[in-house]
Copies of this chain bind each other. A is one copy, B any other.
Amino acid sequence: MSTREHWVLTFVCPDRPGIVHAISGAVVDAGGNITESQQYTSEDTGRFFMRLQIEAAISKSDFEKQIEKIVGDYQLEYVLDFVGRPMRTVVLVSKAAHCLNDILFRQRSGQLPIELTKVFSNHSDLNDLAKFYGLEFENLPIESGSDKAKFEAKLRDYIKQEKIELIVLARFMQVLSPEFCKEFEGKIINIHHSFLPGFKGANPYAQAHARGVKLIGATAHFVTEDLDEGPIIEQNVTRVDHAASKQALVQIGQDAESKTLTQAIKWFAEHRVLLDGQRTIIFR
Taking Cβ atoms with an 8 Å cutoff, the residues of A that contact B are: 15-18, 20-21, 24-25, 27-28, 31-41, 43, 97-98, 101, 105, 109, 111, 132, 195-199, 210-215, 217, 231-237, 241-243, 245, 251, 255, 259, 276, 278-282, 284
* Interface SS of A by simple majority: mixed
Contacts of A109 in B (CB 8 A): 97-98
Report the minimum CB–CB distance from A39 to chain B (whole Å).
Answer: 5
> Are the CB atoms of B242 and A215 closer together than 8 Å?
no
Given A24-B20, A37-B39, is A280 in contact with B195 using a C-beta cutoff of 8 Å? no
Q: State in angstroms the CA–CA spacing of A214 and B132 once bound together.
A: 35
Contacts of A282 in B (CB 8 A): 214, 241-242
Q: State in angstroms the CA–CA spacing of A91 and B195 once bound together.
A: 31
Identify 6 new A-B residue pairs, CB closer than 8 A, beyond the known A195-B198, A198-B198, A213-B235. A17-B32, A21-B21, A35-B41, A195-B215, A214-B235, A241-B284
> Are the CB atoms of B215 and A197 closer together than 8 Å?
no
Q: State in angstroms the CA–CA spacing of A212 and B273 once bound together.
A: 13
